[in-house]
Structure 1
Amino acid sequence: MSFLQIDKVCKSFGPINVLRDISLDVEEGGFLVLVGPSGCGKSTLLNTIAGLEKLTTGEIRIEGNVIDDLEPADRNIAMVFQSYALYPNMNVGQNIAFGLEMRGMPKDERDAKVAEVAKTLQIEHLLDRKPGQLSGGQRQRVAMGRALVRNPKLFLFDEPLSNLDAKLRVDMRTEIKRMHQTFGSTIVYVTHDQIEAMTLGTRIAVLKDGIVQQYGTPAEIYNDPSNMFVADFMGSPAMNLIPATVRGHAIEMSRAGDDPLVLSFDALPVTVSARNGQDVIVGIRPEAITDAAGRGGEKSIQATCRIDVVEPAGADIYAITTLGGKEVVTRLHQDWSGSANQAADLLFNLEKIVFFDPQSGERLR
């Protein structure tokens, strides 16, 4: 049985349907990330789990028990907010211990638990400081410590890193990952940042307009997107989505200043080959288009393309060409010696190409 079950959940505010028939299962110790653009319903879903919003229809269960009618304080859930929500008049130790004190835990037990959590989060030296004396990253650790010390059944994180600068976000991602591995906690985490989603989650639910577009592991979401929205939203840079035409066992894409680029396959998916002479959208990640020096895969085709822009990125070089009338990002080795406004030989990994319907945006399999 799944630890957390979200079963056909709907939530409406008046005539506006914010969540639409959402069903998700999370195993004990799992790390579910809810990701999507602003307004997609991810924070509302988190609030229904916490009990801060009542469901319109559907059920939420923890360990098989329906929690919909329980007050937030009775759900044994800890929530870490974007704003940290620390008490400014209390020091760090008091902030961490506050929930335990409200539950009547004796002081010696509280102190022992606070010391244990503070050691794990490496904030022992901060216990006597007030929140106003802390950096953003330190405050986030305190908020995490306040949640951890309660040993709840479920942790909820609502965009906890969005107020931090870029480097600190990376550092705190590592801290949250380490916390999950150390404590084996079950976590539901909301973010609009797909990098956070890919690096943290054991499972990812991609939401748009209150509907789950795809639910799966990070690898499934990245390599096997169910529609064009998921393909475009997940990945940095995003998946290239290129208009093309089916020609028998091949696909044909217009190429700036040259004949069309034809990629021939041993076999196309049945739903694609059935569209002979019709248009499809070709999806291919930047790393599946590389320079001829390598990384192409066993089933690769080399083609010459004009490079429009070159963007060095340290370990790699991103080069932009134009196919099907769209800008296409390629990922080349750092020692690639080409330059902009010149032709270059590129390898297209056919094993990494997926296809979508141009009208519906749904995957063609």
Structure 2
Amino acid sequence: MSFLKITNLRKSYGSLEILKDINIEIEKGGFLVLVGPSGCGKSTLLNTIAGLEPITSGDIAIAGRSVNGLAPSQRDIAMVFQSYALYPNMTVAGNIAFGMEIRKVPKEEREKAIKQVADMLQIGHLLDRKPSQLSGGQRQRVAMGRALVRDPQVFLFDEPLSNLDAKLRVDMRTEIKRLHQRMKTTIVYVTHDQIEAMTLATKIAVLKDGVLQQFGTPAEIYNHPANMFVADFMGSPAMNLLTAKVESGPLGLQVSLDRPNGAAPLKLPINSSGAGLGTHAGKDVIFGIRPEALTDPDGADRNAHSLAEGDCLIEVVEPAGSDTFAIVRLGGKSVVARLRADARIAPGQTARLAFNLDKAVFFDPQSQIRIG
């Protein structure tokens, strides 16, 4: 049963529609990540759940109760902001306890709750300090502690890690994941960072221009993107998207990819069962393949049902420690291949690469929607 349910939600400012018919639901204890580029409406959606923004139409229900029109204080939610929003004149303990004091929670109960969250977040040694004496990561922990002592039905996080440096952001991401696994609370989390979305979420909602592009598990979003926007936005490096022609080959359907310098096109066989590609024979499609599904033959997934190999011109080689990235030319575009760290390739040479066609996806060039 869904714990947080958003139904046909619309939000407008005058004639400007910001959110357009959003439908999302998540189970109790789920971790929902709202992701998309700047201006897509994800923070506005979070604010409507919090009650900071009224909705134009639709419904938001928490634990089976519609919260439309209820003030934030009546929704049993707690919010962690990007800016931390700590009181500078209060100690860490005072910041954590402030909400409880307002609600007239007894002192003994407050102190017990402060100790519990301080131990959980490893900030017990900071309780007597002021926010100005803390690092960015420590301030974010305090902001999280202030939300945790509320013990709300839903936690809302609005880009909480965007002010931190890269290493600290990774560390805090792990802390949030560990916290969720321990507490099993329901979380809605806004980010523009698709790596954060993939690593934290049990469900992801991808938004663009106020429209929900896809809603599903991280694996569904990554492996079966609904359209070219999701395919390109989710993943680092992004999915390779190439113009290809569907042809009838000796063993069934195949895709033909142009190669540079007058070389013959590269022909790759397709397992077309359920892919809906039969109706596209003789037509152009967009062929999508992740960098990790395009690799050196020795590094290819031996469990793949459909592996094909082809010679590709290497343009650039980028060693990256655990991997080597190669930029090759195919389908009139630069394509990223992810090879083993010790793969022996050099710019300007033609190298044999393996295509894991189990991982290939195809899109209609006009509608940009996945075929099949």
TM-score norm. by structure 1 comes to: 0.99
Q: Are 2:271 and 2:306, in contact at CA under 8 Å, matched by a contact in 1? A: no
**Counterpart position of 2:229:** 229
Name the SS of the counterpart of 2:94 in structure 1.
helix
**Counterpart position of 2:315:** 308
For 2:254, the aligned partner's letter is A
Name the SS of the counterpart of 1:179 in structure 2.
helix
For 2:129, the aligned partner's letter is R
CA distance in 2, matches of 1:204, 1:274: 31
CA distance in 2, matches of 1:4, 1:275: 40
**Counterpart position of 1:158:** 158
**Counterpart position of 1:251:** 255
**Counterpart position of 2:341:** 334
Alpha-carbon distance, 1:295 to partner: 1.9
2:273 is aligned with 1:274: no
Alpha-carbon distance, 1:322 to partner: 1.0
**Counterpart position of 1:292:** 297
Alpha-carbon distance, 1:272 to partner: 1.6
For 1:285, the aligned partner's letter is R
For 1:275, the aligned partner's letter is H
**Counterpart position of 1:27:** 27
**Counterpart position of 1:127:** 127
Q: Are 1:269 and 1:364, in contact at CA under 8 Å, matched by a contact in 2? A: no
CA distance in 1, matches of 2:298, 2:254: 24
| Cα-to-partner distance string for 1:311-358 (whole Å, 9 max, x where unaligned) | 111111110101111111000001101111111000011111110000
CA distance in 1, matches of 2:222, 2:337: 17
| Cα-to-partner distance string for 1:248-289 (whole Å, 9 max, x where unaligned) | 211101011211011012435563221111100001000000
Task: Percent identity, please.
Answer: 63
**Counterpart position of 2:325:** 318
**Counterpart position of 1:15:** 15
CA distance in 2, matches of 1:41, 1:267: 37
CA distance in 2, matches of 1:49, 1:152: 13
CA distance in 2, matches of 1:305, 1:162: 39
Q: Are 2:299 and 2:339, in contact at CA under 8 Å, matched by a contact in 1? A: no
**Counterpart position of 1:171:** 171
Q: Are 1:43 and 1:158, in contact at CA under 8 Å, matched by a contact in 2? A: yes
Name the SS of the counterpart of 1:157 in structure 2.
strand
TM-score norm. by structure 2 comes to: 0.97
Segments of structure 2 that go 5 or more residues without pairing to the other structure are: none
Q: Are 1:19 and 1:41, in contact at CA under 8 Å, matched by a contact in 2? A: yes
Name the SS of the counterpart of 1:308 in structure 2.
strand
CA distance in 1, matches of 2:306, 2:233: 27
CA distance in 2, matches of 1:146, 1:224: 38
**Counterpart position of 1:211:** 211
For 1:107, the aligned partner's letter is K
2:353 is aligned with 1:355: no
Q: Which has the higher mean CA deviation after the structures are superposed, 297-306 or 345-354? A: 297-306
Name the SS of the counterpart of 1:344 in structure 2.
strand
CA distance in 2, matches of 1:113, 1:134: 21
**Counterpart position of 2:75:** 75
Segments of structure 1 that go 5 or more residues without pairing to the other structure are: none
CA distance in 2, matches of 1:268, 1:243: 21
| Cα-to-partner distance string for 1:186-214 (whole Å, 9 max, x where unaligned) | 00000000000000000000000111100
**Counterpart position of 2:100:** 100
Superposition RMSD in Å: 0.9
Q: Are 1:82 and 1:161, in contact at CA under 8 Å, matched by a contact in 2? A: yes
Q: Are 1:11 and 1:56, in contact at CA under 8 Å, matched by a contact in 2? A: yes
| Cα-to-partner distance string for 1:43-89 (whole Å, 9 max, x where unaligned) | 00000000000000000001110101211111110000000000000
